[in-house]
Amino acid sequence: MLSKSQARTFFLGGTVVTFLIFIGLTIYSMAPSNDQSNHQNITEQVIKGKHIWETNNCMGCHAIMGEGGYYAPELTKVIDRRGAPLVKAILQSPIPWAPNGRKMVAYEMSDEDAEAMIEYLKWIGEIDLNGFDRIVSPLAKDKLKD
């Protein structure tokens, strides 16, 4: 059993050590060599694709990097899985895309808008996710099959 002064010393020592570890990890994670954001590859096309993504509320149904809806497939690595030509064809199709009974709006995008979306999805797919794309919930795995 610790005396009152020993307990206080143990508590303060543990607090200081934990605080120093926290500060060290913060500095380490903010170092430029640990940047995984892929920001150097952002182009005007990627920015336009992100704008299209947001204005069409794609996140209402789809998820990127685990954020968004689960009605439709997770799109983080969609270009790797499906290929740019198929994704572009879906975005430009006048007929609603309806795999497994889940209907996607027929956006009938112009060639320029579809290319911007492809560039945005390619950029997202190139971000270092620390293995997130290999750790997927059972619900999302089911959606990835589409």
102 secondary structure, DSSP code:
-
- One domain, residues 67 and 42: yes
What pLDDT, on the 0 to 100 scale, is given for residue 133? 59
What pLDDT, on the 0 to 100 scale, is given for residue 32? 79
Burial of 136 (0-12, 13-18, 19+ CB in 10 A): middle
What pLDDT, on the 0 to 100 scale, is given for residue 49? 96
Mean pLDDT in each 10-residue stretch from start to end of the chain (146 residues)? 92 97 92 78 94 94 89 89 94 88 89 96 86 54 49
- One domain, residues 43 and 73: yes
Pairing of strands 67-68, 63-64: antiparallel
Domain carrying residue 11 = 1-34
What pLDDT, on the 0 to 100 scale, is given for residue 137? 47
What pLDDT, on the 0 to 100 scale, is given for residue 134? 58
- One domain, residues 112 and 136: yes
64 secondary structure, DSSP code:
E
What pLDDT, on the 0 to 100 scale, is given for residue 88? 95
Distance CA 91, CA 113 (A): 9
Number of domains in the chain: 2
Contact 124, 45 (CB under 8 A): no
How many Cβ atoms sit within 10 Å of the Cβ of residue 17? Answer: 10
- One domain, residues 47 and 117: yes
How many Cβ atoms sit within 10 Å of the Cβ of residue 80? Answer: 13
What pLDDT, on the 0 to 100 scale, is given for residue 30? 84
- One domain, residues 1 and 42: no
- One domain, residues 87 and 131: yes
Give the pTM. 0.71
- One domain, residues 48 and 108: yes
- One domain, residues 80 and 97: yes
CATH number of the domain within which 47 lies: 1.10.760.10
Q: Note the Cα 70 to chain centre separation in Å.
A: 13
- One domain, residues 47 and 97: yes
What pLDDT, on the 0 to 100 scale, is given for residue 129? 75
- One domain, residues 19 and 51: no
